[in-house]
Amino acid sequence: MTQPWYKDIYRRAVVDQHITDANADFLTSFDAEHYVGMIRRSNAQAMFMYAQSVVGQAFYPSKVAPVHANLKGRNLPQEVIDEARRHDLKVVLYMSLVWDTWACRNHDDWKVKDTHGRGIADDISSTATHRAGLCCVNSPYRDYTRDLTREICESFDVEGIRMDMTFWPRPCYCRHCRRRYNEEVGGEIPEIINWEDPRWVAFQRCRERWMAEFAERQTKTALAANPDLSVEHQASSIPHEAGWRFGVDSRLAMQNTYLQGDFYGGTIQGSLVRKLFYNLSPNRPVGFETCVSISLANYTAIKSRGLLEAAASSAIADGCAFIYITSIDPVGTLEPTTFERMGEIWGRTQRYEPHMGGELQQDVAVYYSLNSKCNWADNGKHVEGPGLAASSSHTDAVVGACRALRDQHIPFGVITDTSLDQLSRHKVIILPDVLMMNEEEVSAFRDYVRQGGRLYASRNTSLVTRDGHRQNDFMLADVFGVHFSGETVETFTYLAPVEATDPLFAPATRRHPAGLAESQLIVRPNEDLTTLATITLPYTVPADAITFTSLHNDPPGFRTAMAGIVRNEFGSGSVIYVTSGIERHEHLSGIFLNLVRELCDDFSFEADAPPVVEVTLFDQPDRSRLLANLVNFQDVFPQVPIHDARLRLALEGRKACRAILLPDGEELEFEVNDGMAEIAVPRFETFAMLALEYE
Amino acid sequence: MTWYQKAWRRGVLDMHITEDNPRFMTQFDPQRFVDLMLEARLQSVVLYAHSHVGSCFYPSLIAPVHSGPDGRDIFGETVALCHENDIAVVGYMSLIYDTLAWRAHPDWRITHSDYQGHSNPGRYGVCCPNSPYRNYTASLAGELAAGYPLEGIRFDMTFWPGICYCPHCRQRFMQEVGGELPTVIDWFDPRWTRFARKREEWLVEFATLCTDAVRAVDPAISVEHQSSTFAHPWRFGVTTPLAAQTDFLQGDFYGDILQGSFVRKLFHNLSPNRPGGFETSVSATLSNYTALKDEALLRCKAYAALADGCAFIFIDSVDPVGTINPLAYQRMGRIFEETQACEPWLGGELQQDVAIYLSTESKGDFADNGKSVGEAADLHSRAPHVEAALGACQALIGHNIPWGVITRNDLDRLDRHQIVVLPNVLMMDEQECAAFREYVRGGGKLYASRYSSLVTSEGHYLEDFMLADVFGAQYAGETVESFTYIAPAPGHEPLFGEGYSRSHPPGLEDAQIRIVARPEAQVPGELVLPWTDPADPWRFSSIHNNPPGRYTGQAAILHNHYGAGQAIYVAGDIESSENCHDLFINLLLRMQPAWTFMSDAPKAVEITLFHQPEESRWLINLVNFQQALPNIPARDIQVRLRVPQRPLRLLQQPAGRELPFESHGDGVSFTLPELETFAMLTLEYA
């Protein structure tokens, strides 16, 4: 059986081509030989060629979609495919879903509508949304895209198809959505957000299901036309900061051959999403995309070499393909500098590719509930009203947990509900303020702990069902060893150590406990558990504007006996439950990590390296070796090189034979102490890959 | 020598504690506090006499007295103990922010533009300095100065917290300008601008009243007004004349590394006396005071202050009952033990080859024009001139170029600098323009961008630049397009840095001034417009961006020789955009190819150089201050100094370890083997 095309394709290129025909010169200088020549200059192995764009026009003689006016009979994708074939380049065709300016401007009935029945893109005060018309997947637009997908997949002989923008730009109240909601749930779609109102939550679950169903229809259409195609839907929407609005959960992932998405956030975002994709993707490698320019809006400004190399190296460290995005000039030309810069970088990084692969070591798994990407602070607000939360409290907690684990070099991964049957792979599982859970999740985590697993859970975890029913008690109350009793009125609170746990909290003390800008849940502990911290409340209620203690802050005043952190033994396992989302707060990351270490302190690796150096470890049993990656990713470039990093790899009963620096194979000295092989990592600027061979 | 000239290690204990609980401030122990200060190695302390709450910690006859100490004069007791232990005491007094005064005197309140609502009725009561509140504070200041043998008095919060429309302000405006206070922002409307200038003037007058009240009692007492606001947006109403009411500038800052570096350079030149003081909280934030900052972060901040010749001041908060967290003082004690060793070498004149000009009258935003003062939540949040100034500083630090920040107070000594940068100076007056013209005529080099010299400080948008002759430019309008490009003119591609070309020029997320080049000016850069107007939602070229399409042939960068000097004018504020920093630096290099020092130090390392002629030496400071801490040590940093004297010895202080160096005809070069956080070197010369 032949290997799928994407299996060893780690270098991929996207040239954005959302070009209108507003000017008669646009795309008239497009030259496939020049185009493919540029892609080759970048050392790319695969490319994404636009068959159709967000503008809505096709770049080939389509019978379904309008054709770009300046083509004059040309078929740009075919020209590129022909040229690419001559150079053994893989080609994936691009098409846009939901975002289609032409369709939106010509079909009022297809538009995503607000609660007043206005097309979202009709708001000409917003140039961005107006340029990109937004179509509803419940409207007849779905048939249009099906026909277009079929035409594209039948017309071209390529490796795959990429469907971009498979998400809800925002909640839609068009007549088609209203009708479906009425048929499937009954009544009108609610306009007031309330995550504890089953009707509102039903709307959200419908949106997720409708989007997954739309994606499935598209995927099936593509595969019916050509079963050998790989199919992708834009996957950056899964962990997107827009949260619940995009209406995407793990079901969308199942409609992909592999996950790939474009990201523009910081280093922790990249690290998190790659680990999420690693576990969520139906196949590997997954793809991490970002633009070569400093932003999509300023495409002539190219990122520095150092930044691009760090981004590309990070992808390698997580076992990912790296995909750069650049933009075509409106007339159809490409600027060589971009491609030369990527060619230079990939010229260096491609030497590591033969060594990639294996199983990522994820001693600690951070659980990301894709159905909890909301914020209860929005409850009671209008769906289009001002003041909606900018982020999801659960996602913030996930990010905070990952950041702390990464910075302290604890092997971690990110899992979702698709991994519930594999929980035993992990030594510790983190449930970071998981806002909504279903019985399947609850039962999986209970069994995990019962059989010896170690669980960290915070705040609202297991208090509300996935369909929006608030419970009287935690669904995991037996596992946590505490029962829900209420919530503090105070929105700035403190956690104070008990005598035995002072070291876990240093430099915070009982007199000066750790403060956090959130309330805490009040819980009733079982008698046989261990309290690790209690809640201290401020002297006065922070919301009281008249009676207060201190101008700038709300000092701790009342030491309560209320449990703030507890440890419970359940079955063969252990649990730490925290009444607040401390992992969200960077200044409390030390306490969070100490709690994780209370649960487990024997990890697959340890590292003495600055927090900006991320370490990942893969086991490659087929090659009898461990593969360690270190990426130096600082905020300012060029970076300060790393001289004195040390790595300790757990042998777990294996015998270490040889340590080498890849890709050149330079042998490194190592020492074995307490079951760990310790290696001094030679000086590196951006990336180091080491292998420890064992028997 | 005054107390502050030798006090590099200072502390503040925030005591904004109410009386809402009978236990509050009952356990304050002056001896314990002084012991902790000694543990922290403090040389001076800002001690609360009167807080934002409005109550006093001494037996005032004017203001309410805090009931917690129950008749004890904890302020006086602490002053005496501090003096016994050789700790200088600065009495703290809050201005404008006075909750009890606000609650007791509705007539004193700062009032919103609808003439109805008053300012925040919550914790922070803010009083108008044009109301009778001014007399209250002056009396209180006099009482405090007369009551205790203080080294200094610190007036906090000497700024406008909001735009006040109270009857007192309205009356003053009516008398001094005529008519009602304008409620619509328009920086091109002389009436609005007059209002802004009046606010600035009134604030200085209020500060003078308070300063004079102290000096009338004892001229030897140093006076400070909160100085963190000089680079804050216009609504704070703080301009350079406020500095004259302060013996030395000191302020608290909570921003990034660049902000710290910028304000310390500003203080170096603007402060009537040195050292200036850089304050920050020892806690993660003021609102979360039990969370202490990481020791590595505090160490970096303390050394960064030292590297700029500033005192470092940490702010702690008292517990409501009056106790104090000793950990903060132990932590700072360890840090100050290190920094203290470097103090004997401090002092001298900062080398500022490039001076960034900060116009405190230009902290508005023309984008606000037409908006009502009270309407938009995002109003006044930006100060494009300050952003451009900060951007210029960031570029200079990144390229290891000696720089400083100057204001109109420095107009008579511009010739200290190789280059003066006017970063999108929104408003200027004749005095400033005359000074810059003379500077260039005399051989100086001037970089100016965008609006510089186009709008007067009174709000008149002129028909041409006041410095048109210096720039070699004639004003011809503004682009309609809000995303624009500057392309290299043929032959000037290298100026724009790697990655840019004529076909792919650098883009600016803003409009540009349209200019016509005078015949004598060179044109290294040209204006390029996008294919379509970015604001047109219907007709566009590309979904995500606005690609360059229309090559206008009009100048966007001018290089003009004027008198014995030269000027470069850029039609957009490229210094604001990091993606244009190479271009910005290359334009400076076009005028000035070499600097007093040059280095290959990483961008996270800032170098400062002080000349100490009385000691026959140069002082070189290197601070490694990375975003993520602890720092990754930088190794083998090459430094080249261009100094005229004959070098004798290069020593790494405080250890006095000799470092090898290489002499050149015009200076020395050396290698610093490793830099973890701070290195101080002295180059002694014959």
Contacts of B74 (CB under 8 A, 6+ apart): B25, B28, B30, B57, B58, B322
Question: Chain B partners of A300 at a C-beta cutoff of 8 Å?
Answer: 485, 500, 504-507, 547-548
| SS3 state of residue A618 | strand
Name the residue with tokens 């504007």: A545
Beta-carbon contacts of A297 under 8 Å, excluding residues fewer than 6 positions away, are B483, B509, B544, B545, B546
Residue A648 vs residue B123, higher pLDDT:
A648
Query: Is A557's Cβ below 8 Å from some Cβ in B?
Result: yes
Reported as a single tens digit per residue, the pLDDT across B119-177 is 555 788 999 999 999 999 999 999 999 999 999 999 999 999 989 999 999 999 999 99
Question: Which chain B residues have a beta carbon less than 8 Å from that of A637?
Answer: 603
Interface test with A, best of B542, B603, B623, B625 (most A CBs within 10 A): B542
Task: Give the alpha-carbon dihedral of B104, B106, B109, B113, to 10 degrees.
Answer: 160
| Band (B376; pLDDT cuts 50, 70, 90) | low
User: How high is the pLDDT of residue B375?
Assistant: 66
Which residues 515-544 of B are in CB contact (within 8 Å) with A?
531-532, 534-544
B contact residues 611-640, partner A, Cβ 8 Å cutoff: 626-628, 630, 632-635
What pLDDT is recorded for position A132?
81
Least trusted range by pLDDT, from A127-131, A449-453, A592-596, B423-427: A127-131
User: Which pair of tokens denotes residue A349?
Assistant: 């990084």
- Phi and psi angles of residue A150, each rounded to the nearest 5 degrees, phi first: -60, -45
Place of tokens 């992708």: A232
Q: Does residue A428 contact residue A363 with C-beta atoms inside 8 Å?
A: yes
Choice among A116-125, A596-605, B350-359, B362-371 with the minimum mean pLDDT: A116-125
Average pLDDT over residues A86-101: 97
Q: Tens digits of per-residue pLDDT, B467-477?
A: 999 999 999 99
- Give exposure, B225-260, as e/b (b: 16+ Cβ within 10 Å): bbbbbbbbbbbbbbbbbbbebbbbbbbbbeeebeeb
Beta bridge partners of B279: B252, B313
Beta strands in A459-585 (DSSP E): 482-487, 493-497, 514-516, 521-525, 530-538, 556-570, 573-578
Decide: B175 and B251 in contact? Cβ < 8 Å: no
Tokens of B542: 């590309």
pLDDT in tens, B221-262: 999 999 999 999 999 999 999 999 999 999 999 999 999 999
Taking the CA of residue B549 and the nearest CA in chain A, the distance in Å comes to: 8
The span from the CA of B90 to the CA of B12, in Å, is 9
Query: Residue A45: exposed, middle, or buried by beta-carbon count in 10 A (0-12, 13-18, 19+)?
Result: buried
For B18, name the nearest residue in chain A, comparing CA atoms only: A549
| Confidence band, pLDDT 50/70/90 cuts, at residue B440 | very high
Q: How many residues does chain B have?
A: 686
Alpha helices of B218-277 — where are they, by DSSP H?
Answer: 257-270
* Owner of token pair 């190695």: B41
Contact B440, B414 (CB under 8 A): no
| Total count of residues recorded for chain A | 695
Mutate to test the interface with B, among A293, A549, A643, A683 (most CBs of B within 10 A): A549
- In this prediction, residue A299 carries a pLDDT of 94
For residue A130, what pLDDT is reported?
73
Distance from CA of A600 to the nearest CA of B (A): 25
Spatial distance between the Cα atoms of A573 and A134, rounded to a whole number of angstroms: 49
Question: What ipTM does this complex have?
Answer: 0.95
Local confidence band at B526 (pLDDT 50, 70, 90 cut-offs) = very high
Q: What's the angle, vertex CA B344, arms to CA B635 and CA B600, rounded to 5?
A: 20
- Whether A539 and chain B come into contact, CB under 8 Å, resolves to yes
Does the structure show a pLDDT above 90 at B594? yes
The pair of three-digit structure tokens given for residue A278, joined into one six-digit string: 């690693």
User: pLDDT at position B113, please?
Assistant: 80
- Cβ-based contacts of B122 with chain A (< 8 Å): 545-546
- For residues A111 and A134, the answer to whether their CB atoms sit within 8 Å is yes
Nearest to B545 among A53, A299, A509 (CB): A299
Burial class (CB in 10 A: 0-12, 13-18, 19+), B93: buried
Structure tokens at B303: 């050394």
Distance from CA of A447 to the nearest CA of B (A): 37
Instruction: Reduce the DSSP state of residue B638 to 3 states and report it.
Output: strand
Residues 454-493 of A with CB under 8 A from B: 492
For residue B74, is pLDDT > 60? yes
CA dist B197 → A206, A366, B205, B364 (Å): 58, 56, 12, 12
Long-range contacts of A302-306 (CB under 8 A, 24+ apart): A302/A337, A302/A338, A302/A341, A302/B499, A304/A637, A304/A638, A305/A341, A305/A344, A305/A345, A305/A637, A306/A637, A306/A638, A306/A639, A306/A686
Q: For residue B431, give how far its alpha carbon lies from the nearest alpha carbon of chain A (Å).
A: 38
**Partner residue opposite B290 with nearest CB, options A330, A337, A556:** A556
- Alpha-carbon gap: B319 to the closest alpha carbon of chain A (Å): 7
Q: Please report which residue ranges of A285-378 form alpha helices under DSSP H.
A: 305-317, 336-349
Residue A242: its pLDDT value, please? 86
List % helix, strand, coil for chain A (3-state, nearest 5).
Answer: 30, 25, 40
For residue A492, list its beta bridge partners: none
Chain B residues touching A337 at Cβ < 8 A: 498-499, 501, 504
Contacts of A31 (CB under 8 A, 6+ apart): A332, A333
* pLDDT score for B122: 74
Closest partner residue to B542 (CB to CB) among A19, A507, A639 is A19
Interface test with B, best of A512, A589, A614 (most B CBs within 10 A): A512
Average pLDDT, chain B: 96
| pLDDT tens by residue, B30-45 | 999 999 999 999 999 9
Decide the pairing of beta strands B617-624 and A321-327: unpaired
- Residue whose C-alpha is closest to residue B606's, from B308, B346, B367, B380: B308
Nearest to B269 by CA among B405, B361, B389: B405
Phi and psi at residue B20, to the nearest 5° = -75, 0
Indicate the residue type of A398. Answer: V
Does residue B85 belong to the interface with chain A, where contact is any CB pair within 8 Å? Answer: no
Flag whether residue A683 sits within 8 Å of chain B, measured between CB atoms.
no
Q: How far apart are CA B231 and CA B258, in angstroms?
A: 13
Least confident piece of the model among A544-553, B91-100, B399-408, B445-454: A544-553
Give B 93-132 residues with CB within 8 A of chain A.
97, 99, 121-124
- For chain B, the distance separating the N- and C-terminal CA atoms, rounded to the nearest angstrom, is 28
For B78, the enclosing helix (H) or strand (E) is helix B74-84
Angle between helices A336-349 and A305-317 (to 10 degrees): 40
Q: Which two tokens stand for residue A22?
A: 């507003």
The answer, yes or no, to whether residue A309 has pLDDT greater than 60, is yes
Q: Which of A101, A327, A552 sits opposite B16 (nearest CB)?
A: A552
| Mean pLDDT, range B547-575, rounded to an integer | 98
pLDDT at B28 over 70: yes
Q: A266: Cβ–Cβ under 8 A, 6 or more apart, which residues?
A: none
Has residue A121 got a pLDDT over 80? no
Contacts of B675 (CB under 8 A, 6+ apart): B601, B605, B622, B624, B633, B634, B635, B637
The upper half-sphere exposure of residue A225, i.e. CA atoms within 13 Å in the direction of its Cβ, equals 24
**Residue-wise DSSP of A170-224:** S----HHHHHHHHHHT-SPPP-B--TT-HHHHHHHHHHHHHHHHHHHHHHHHHHH
pLDDT band at residue A125 under the 50/70/90 scheme = low
CB contact A663 to B (< 8 Å): no
Amino acid at position A527, single letter: E
Task: Pick B291's closest partner by Cβ from A130, A557, A587.
Answer: A587
The one-letter amino acid code at A147 reads D
Residue A303: its chain B contacts at CB < 8 A?
none
B509 and A54: CB-CB below 8 Å? no
pLDDT of residue A129: 57
- As a whole number, mean pLDDT of residues B442-465 equals 98
> Which residues of chain B neighbour A641 with C-beta distances below 8 Å?
632, 635
Q: CB–CB of A302 and B499 under 8 A? A: yes
Percent of chain A with pLDDT over 70: 99
Residue A2 has a pLDDT of 80
> pTM for the complete prediction?
0.96
Cβ contacts of B510 on chain A, cutoff 8 Å: none
Q: Does A44 touch chain B (CB under 8 A)?
A: no
How confident is the model at residue B121, as a pLDDT?
A: 59
- How far is B549 from A23, CA to CA, in rounded Å? 10
**Closest to B547 (Cβ–Cβ): which among A124, A330, A550?**
A330
pLDDT digits (tens, 9 = 90+) for B598-619: 999 999 999 999 999 999 999 9
Q: In sequence order, what E strands does A505-590 have? A: 514-516, 521-525, 530-538, 556-570, 573-578
Indicate the helix (H) or strand (E) that contains A626. strand A625-632
